[in-house]
Structure 1
Amino acid sequence: MDPRTSAQDVMRCDLCETAVVQMHCDTCLVNLCTACVGKHMISDESKKHEVVKFQARKSTPLFPKCKHHIKERCEMYCNQCDIPVCTSCVASDKHLGHKIVKILQVSDERRNKIMKDITELNETIYPTYQDIASDVQNRMSQLEKEYGDLSTAITKHGEDWHREIDKLVKKLKAEVDEMKNTQLQTLQKHLDEINKTMSDIKDEIDSLEMVTDTNDLSKLISVTLNVNLYSNLPNKMILSLPKFTPGTIHEELVKLFGTLSSSSLTSDKHGYSMKTTQKSPEAGSSPPVKQLLDEPETVTTIKIDIQAVYSLISSQLYNVACLSDEEIWTSGNDYTVKLYSINQGSLLKSITTKSGNVPWDIAVTKSGDLVYTDINDRTVNIVKNEKIEEVIRLQNWKHLGVCSTSSGDLLVIMYSDDYKQTKYVRYSGSTEKQTIQFDDEGKSLYSSGSYNKFYITENRNLDICVSDHNTNAVVVFNQAGKLRFKYIGHTPVPKNQPFIPRGITTDSQSHILTADINNDCVHIIDQDGQFLRYIDCGLSGPWGLCTDTNDNLFVAQQSNKQVKKIKYLH
């Protein structure tokens, strides 16, 4: 075996091709043995050969050749012209008065920027794309399951109708399969694009890492940085599944067997965010699909003790918030917030507000702490270990509704002292993160007036839902503040009275539930604003709402000062 061509042989001199490499010319990028160094030095005397030990190769900067002075290297850099320059260039009038710096300084800054970009690509952007790809795959798997559930429901209902409706069953199943395939194809295309981008990012990382390892400053300076291109995350695909609504057996089989609502697959520009240490609610698996009960049922009723602050005003119950599946916080027109046992109906704890004012709204944070708003004191307060801490204090504005989000932020709806403005604000602790007041046309999303009653909550899909008493509407907008829809009620209603919303909450199915105090009922709409049904269960003046982890609904009734626990989902 020829030792010079053996894969296991040591590196040989590029000139004699026999002796072991000991030296290296950083100028010519040639490997040399000690005997050939002199020969190489005189081979091209026009160059300034930088010969170093082989182990120290690439340690000598390889300055770019000057485009205007062929025999010179550019050891300086003109900031105004943004080009490398040699000493002859500096001496010329062309760069007179320009700021000239050492090119090594520029290359070091560029190298540091590249290293930061590599770190961002490796540690943030690429992992985010991995999470997005995993999310899309999970959604595709869930899509298969939920469409399978739809097919099963249709089949089961079809068995009750026997042979005369087989044709209709097949037709509806074909529609389900067509919808499923359409959405799967769209998601697969979306996933392919994400995987392609991930591959491009890896190529970008490899390319940048090669550049940072070279001593060729021309390559280092001329490299194109594309990290901003990949920082623009893809739109998130939002699924809307069809619903199968079974009917009763009748002569008009086609109409009464059941209908399949349309499906949709939309793109949300703000659906994804860069990877952080916190997981969003969408990161987990989707909750099991639950169906609405034909007849909601009252599980238990809890009597709440309210002592009105003013003797001339009757005591009233306003709010309820779930601490757990066993305990609820309540508040009314007195200066306390009370904790009750759901199963026993007994009072467990009573917290007096810091200012002695009536709390307007209450909520429970992810960590289980109580939050309440104080309009007269202009504060939002949090109760930790029975100690009250002021979190937010306003000037020229007053807090109304409050809720705690899945990310731990506080959402607050508030109005100005002159009653002319209303806005939503997102807080992280006491820091204001986002304010939304107007729609795309510059019009206020919410009403204004002297009699303001607003409540706010976050849906599972991260939409923000606000009940607006003045316009008798539920206003829903996405995380970016873009208005999605307004719900203004449904007819007929139990008492044929105008829709007047009060408390608002959501459940695991992304249903939106709002109390209608004028009709003694609760409206249930889906995440796109479509009416689903009413819950009445003998309600009297429903005001505050909340749901527990099992999707039981708790309704605070204003006039009789009772909280009803209602089961409305299978």
Structure 2
Amino acid sequence: MVTSEEIWRRANQLTIEIQIRRRKWIWIGQTLRKPKTTIVNQALRRNPLRAKFLQASKLNYTSGFHCDEIKLCRRQFRAEHTTMAVSVSSAQHYLECGQCEEYPAKFVCKTCRGNLCKKCKTEHENRQITKNHVIYQLKIYKEEAIGQLNCADHYSKQLECFCCPCKKPVCTECIVWSHNGHAVQPLSIAYREIRDQLQKKKEEIENKLLPKYRELLQGEFLKKAVLSQQANEEQKQIETHTQNVIDIVKELGQKTVQDLRVMEEKGHREIDQSSTELQRKIDQLQTASQVLSESIDAEPGSFFFEVH
């Protein structure tokens, strides 16, 4: 008889339960990327267990009932916080303080595995129930905390190895069911290798790529300045040439107007001469007409036949 799990494994597919869980955590990551003022983000961040833990921490430490309640809340909060830190860390730009949920975490409590900011660290050290906890800086604790991470698919299992073909951390259940036969290596070694690769990429970016592209950017700025200077020079030349053309056109216009006025005066003189000559002719004709009129009106005599 073949079980459903065996069929899922042979088909190289995840079970419905795991698919539902993954979709749920993907939705949680997308919700956490939204602004904190949204209702869905506030509803997701509301944690009754955390509130109960903080309330229990303020109670009298000497009371046996309160002490048991604190221990129970601490275990519940620790399990939930560890799972959330593993599953949702990819949705945040920085590791958030697990107590105030507002500021970036700078320290980590090894005893309760809580991430703390600077302010919450001081409160954690001053609180009666947590004053003896061991607190490390987050950078020092990172590699040591690798062995305390829980699997995203099997929440009760801790991550043990790193699957080289799949490029993901796995627990013993993952190795048995979905990564059987894959080459694996210790999680700490994989962490150091990945960290070294990221460090090399960072150094390459800072030492090679950034200087190169900054130099190219400076070159572009220089090109821009040279282009602006050339454009200004060309503009000055165009304006100078335009002004020269305007001056030449004005000079030609003034000379043309002067020649026109000279021709006008010459024409006026010729017209005046012609008018004078015509007026003289008119006067002569009027005189002749008057003489002829007198001859016509006079008494006829011998001279009348000699006038014409």
Shared fold (TM-score greater than 0.5)? Answer: no
Larger radius of gyration: 2
Query: Could you tell me the TM-score, scaled by structure 1's length?
Result: 0.21
Q: Which has the higher helix share?
A: 2
Q: Which has the higher strand share?
A: 1
